[in-house]
Amino acid sequence: MASLNQERSPGHKPVSPGGGHPDQGGVVLFRGHLLAASSRGAAVVGERPWRGRVFIAASLDGFIARPDGAIDWLTDPAPGPRHHAPQAPAGPCSRGGASARALEWEQFLPGVDHLVMGRGTYEKVLGFEEWPYEDLGIIVLSTALEAEDPRITPARSLGEAVALLDARGARQVYVDGGRVIQSFLREDLIDEITLAWAPVLLGSGLPLFGALPRDTRLELVASHTGQNGLVHATYRVYRPG
């Protein structure tokens, strides 16, 4: 991995668990590392012990919801054409190429132990008939949400969320919600992305991805097309060296 000075992009500063500047001292987050910060600068303490993983559906033009947050195009799509596509052989993701099937939701969820999501995603989940995350440690990124729900722990900043994950011994972390995914990507905290591309163009809405301080290279490790036309693709974030 390149040195901190080489990896730092213009205007990109480490984030402290409490949201302060690293020169104030304490522990900060930078490019997936925990750093010890002081007025003399930051030094790497250790790499994170967990993997950040994304599983999310998006329209073909890259939106995860309509401008008002609706996802009817995904949960209750209008009648459309039948989809015909070759199926990849069944099997787990393999590093040797994309011949295996990508992860489905039923395979993905049992493989994670923690979930980090934003307040908007959390409030949408509250509207489900059943709570789908009984066995997960859940952190909700929000500057105002109070800890009234015993199933979740609020975090005021990305750095605070990372500190909670480390303290709890997280290993496989599901990252959900457009803004939260973007924040984790900017800090190099995502290791795997599974996308389910829906065969629809929305034209506008809430984007899946946003601006990044650098290119993020991805390695396609598995893919397949479902009968409903959803194209599932699992990528590994490529980090040379």
Residue environment code for 124-156, b if the CB has 16+ CB neighbours within 10 A, otherwise e? ebeeeeeeebeebbbbbbbeebeeeeeebebbe
Give the domains, in start order, of the chain with CATH numbers. 4-47 (no CATH), 51-237 (3.40.430.10)
SS3 11: coil
pLDDT bracket for residue 77 (50, 70, 90): confident
How much is the average pLDDT of 38-58? 69
Look at residue 80 in the predicted model and tell me its pLDDT.
66
Burial of residue 216 (number of CB atoms within 10 Å: 0-12, 13-18, 19+): middle
How much is the average pLDDT of 166-185? 96
pLDDT above 50: residue 1: no
Which uninterrupted H or E stretch holds 30?
strand 26-30
- In angstroms, rounded to a whole number, what is the distance separating the alpha carbons of residues 219 and 238? 6
- In angstroms, rounded to a whole number, what is the distance separating the alpha carbons of residues 152 and 172? 17
pTM for the model: 0.75
- In angstroms, rounded to a whole number, what is the distance separating the alpha carbons of residues 174 and 150? 19
